[in-house]
Amino acid sequence: MIVEQLSLVDFRNYAAADVSLQAGPNVFVGRNGQGKTNLAEAIAYFATLGSHRVSTDAPMVRRGADAAIVRARLAYGTRSIVLEVQVNKQGANKARVNGSSLRPAELPRYAQVVLFAPEDLQIVRGDPSARRRFIDQLLIQRTPRLAGVLSDYDRVLRQRNALLKSARARGIRGDQLSTLEVWDDKLIALGAEVIDARSALTGELATPLTHAYAAIAGADHEPELDWARSIDGADPEEGTGEMDAAAGGLTSERFRAALATRRTAELDRGLTLVGPHRDDLVLRLRGLPVKGYASHGESWSMALGLRLASAELLRAQSMLGDPIVILDDVFAELDADRRERLAGLVADYEQVIVTAAVEPDIPTALRAHVVRVEAGTIVDPELSTNITEQGSTDG
């Protein structure tokens, strides 16, 4: 799929803007802080329903405005549709497809975008929550139904935690708390589905990650990745505990056994101590964890590799064609060889959008259809020529 036309109203630093894009490479060029990433963010919003930079919607709306509108004409081969989202500062957001209303949560069914940005370094260097967010975003992109399972799990977890907290405050022991079992059943049913889906996806990422990492880093060692399940005894959230490598059996049985083992500790702390909310994606290079050991360049290559591996998986499975690949501010970080190798990796996607402060940072293979951005406006080279010509005629 590709974006053919993007229109913004009161989005970030754009009062109003229209951008035409083409299949293949597109480049957003401009000095720092002019609005290149904002354009990329607007396109990705349809796929991720949020920003890669902030967790709330308010910053999407231009200062002083009440709502932002992003409209995009998307083409899948010869078919095209118009998607629109209105991000409201107050009240719920609204969405439309070809003019008809739909729930904003449905938008990702029409748009697949993989965006890599410098913030993605947090996937490898940040807390486990950043890695869970990464894997969950990809899960939802591949299987939109899982968005509901994940949010139901979070709701049940909050309710179970509230019960544990109030039991702790009232000095109630586990065997006196019969309602806990009801919440255990719900937590296990939803949680086991989340754990299994994340583990399976982690396994699927291995081969494309190895391929992408080798291509970017030019390295001869293979990255390793594992889904560390807190139900197996490790506590990735607290960085403690040994994994029980022999852990087998049904995930739900394992989850139930782990909850039983931790019951007293959970009542002591008023908190659910095992489950997918405490799992982690463990990344290793040369047998060492990436977090805390890998160099800046290795961490960067790993984060980029994870996004490119995601794009490969989406491309292999999606009914929508290739995902749109957006590389925000990536080339300035890479040496010439790595730039060329990365360009080679993404060059055959249906549409690739890259941003850079200066054109020479972008490999020649991707230097097509340049969109210049200046202070929240799209600079149209033809238009500026016309204005000058008209000015001189008038004069």
Ligand X SMILES: Nc1ncnc2c1ncn2[C@@H]1O[C@H](COP(=O)(O)OP(=O)(O)OP(=O)(O)O)[C@@H](O)[C@H]1O
The site for ligand X (CB under 6 A) is made up of 12-13, 30, 32-38, 59, 61-63, 329, 355, 357
Report in angstroms how near the CB of residue 14 gets to ligand X at its nearest: 8
Q: Which residue has the tokens 């959970």?
A: 266
Report in angstroms how near the CB of residue 65 gets to ligand X at its nearest: 8
Q: Which residue has the tokens 């607007």?
A: 42
Which residue lies nearer to ligand X by CB, 5 or 377? Answer: 377
Q: Is 176 annotated as a binding residue?
A: no
Which residue lies nearer to ligand X by CB, 32 or 100? Answer: 32
Q: Is 37 annotated as a binding residue?
A: yes
Burial 216-235, CB ≥16 within 10 A → b, else e: bbeeeeebbbebbbbbbbbb
Q: How far apart are CA 272 and CA 187, in angstroms?
A: 10
Report in angstroms how near the CB of residue 195 gets to ligand X at its nearest: 36
Which residue lies nearer to ligand X by CB, 34 or 272? Answer: 34
Could you tell me which residues come within 8 angstroms of residue 225 by beta carbon, excluding any fewer than 6 positions away?
A: 202, 205, 206, 209, 281, 282, 283, 284
* Tokens linked to 320: 């929508």
Report in angstroms how near the CB of residue 29 gets to ligand X at its nearest: 9
Query: What are the C-alpha distances in Å from 377 to residues 39, 116, 341, 346?
Result: 11, 23, 32, 28
Total residues found in the chain within this entry: 395
Report in angstroms how near the CB of residue 339 gets to ligand X at its nearest: 17
Report in angstroms how near the CB of residue 233 gets to ligand X at its nearest: 43
Which residue lies nearer to ligand X by CB, 30 or 323? Answer: 30
Report in angstroms how near the CB of residue 35 gets to ligand X at its nearest: 4
Which residue lies nearer to ligand X by CB, 56 or 178? Answer: 56
Q: Is 240 annotated as a binding residue?
A: no
Q: Is 297 annotated as a binding residue?
A: no
Q: How many CB atoms lie within 10 A of CB 147?
A: 17
Q: Is 94 annotated as a binding residue?
A: no
Q: Is 112 annotated as a binding residue?
A: no
Which residue lies nearer to ligand X by CB, 280 or 329? Answer: 329
Q: Is 36 annotated as a binding residue?
A: yes
- CB 190 within 8 Å of CB 149: yes
Q: Is 202 annotated as a binding residue?
A: no
- In 3D space, the residue among 111, 87, 86, 108 whose CA is nearest the CA of residue 96 turns out to be 86
Could you tell me which residues come within 8 angstroms of residue 27 by beta carbon, excluding any fewer than 6 positions away?
A: 353, 354, 355, 356, 359, 362, 366, 367, 368, 369, 370, 371
Which residue lies nearer to ligand X by CB, 65 or 250? Answer: 65
In the chain, DSSP finds a helix count (H) and a strand count (E) of 9, 15
DSSP string, 216-252: HH--SSPPEEEEE-GGGT-BTTTTBS---TT--S-HH
- CB 87 within 8 Å of CB 36: no
Report in angstroms how near the CB of residue 204 gets to ligand X at its nearest: 32
**Which helix (H) or strand (E) element contains residue 280?**
strand 280-285
Which residue lies nearer to ligand X by CB, 38 or 310? Answer: 38
Binding residues: 30-37
Question: From the annotation, which residues make up the binding site for ATP?
Answer: 30-37
